[in-house]
Amino acid sequence: MSACHPLELQLAEAWPAEAWQEVSVLIAVSGGVDSVALAVSLSRLKLRQAGAGRLWLGHFNHGLRGKASDHDERRVRNLSRQLQLPLRVGRRGRTSFCRRGDGLEASARRARYTFLRKEAESCGARYVVTAHTADDQAETVLHRIVRGTGLAGLAGIRRARPLGPAVTIVRPLLAVRRGVLKDYLHELHVPYSSDASNQDVRFTRNRIRHDLLPKLRQDYNPLVVDALLRLAQLASEVQSITDGLVQTLARRARRTERDGSIVLRRDALAAEPIYLIRELLKATWAAQDWPCQAMGYREWDRVARAINGPAGPVPAQIMPGEILVEGTPSHVTLRSSNTASIQREPARGDG
């Protein structure tokens, strides 16, 4: 067997084989350069391991780009045959995405991760691996800064997080630049798809990639990507401390009722910093799988201050995503609601 490629060595260092060689892994593959490079490099590393674990490929055809989406699926099917790895494919029509106040992109992402989780559980995979790169991380942090964000947003894309009770999502390429992956595939003569929508500057993310970041590199800091990655790392370290405080606070102040509603004890939160209460609310929304897309700083802060405000009833209000907030002098209740009789205010920015 040929010597290990530098990219494969970097991947092995970021995610040592000891962590995954004995368990099954589902690799999320879109057909683009990043995910194809991840699949190829992991499969080549796997050939060098003696573990009993198995690699799978997972592809979700969103159907958002018509024939181009079908072309990507064919590309991934060819890759599956080339690497001799089993493939799981899911499909969903465009019209089925938007729901519960989420935008199209958020709904599509939710559907993709739901598919990956279910397929991982079905094939017994302990990990789902995605190909987010250092460039994705820098673009994400800058996008959130432009849009408006808190500390958690500055932390960018998390390297690992639970996807389900028995499945963890891992992103081992967050320190690798996209150009390195492209050179790797060219060297190995492995084809990949190019998504034309990634060049469409009508989308903010693409304007950041093709306009703002190059301008920042040229006119302000040639190492701006490295600076954004350091910022994300520092924010992530601080956020991990905050997450621990929020978990402790949740155990003390939060309970779930039989009907699925959440009750927060106001006396247990009265002396807490308003920042931690906002973070507790965000964690609660995420745990309940309530839509966060339209919840901005103003919305989070309004609920937090209602909880932490003067003693007395909390007037009922419906937050974006049809989440009803109401309370008594002793507690505040949060529940999903289809009621639309209470006027909602539009969201402003991202919390």
DSSP state of 169: E
Give the 3-state secondary structure of 73-93. Answer: HHHHHHHHHHHCCCEEEEECC
Span 258-293, pLDDT tens digits: 988 999 999 999 999 999 999 999 999 988 888 887
Tokens of 91: 């499909």
Dihedral of alpha carbons 307, 309, 311, 316, sign: negative
Describe the strand order of the beta sheet including 55-61 as a list of residue ranges.
87-91, 55-61, 24-28, 125-129, 167-170, 160-164
* Domain-wise residue ranges, the chain: 6-215, 257-336
**Is residue 137 within 8 Å of 46, Cβ to Cβ?**
no
The verdict on pTM exceeding 0.85 is no
Which residue numbers in the chain have pLDDT < 70? 1-2, 93-104, 338-351
**Is residue 192 within 8 Å of 36, Cβ to Cβ?**
yes
Span 320-338, pLDDT tens digits: 888 999 999 999 999 987 5
Per-residue burial over 308-325, b if 16 or more Cβ lie within 10 Å, else e, is: beeeeebeebbbbbbbbb
Span 165-190, pLDDT tens digits: 999 999 999 999 999 999 999 999 99
C-alpha span between 4 and 48 (Å, rounded): 9
Give me the CATH topology for the region 6-215: Rossmann fold (3.40.50)
Region of residue 124 (phi > 0: left; psi between -120 and 50: alpha; otherwise: beta): left
pLDDT computed for residue 1 by the predictor: 55
C-alpha span between 303 and 284 (Å, rounded): 12
- To 10 degrees, what angle do helices 134-147 and 178-188 make? 150
**Is residue 265 within 8 Å of 253, Cβ to Cβ?**
yes
DSSP state of 34: H
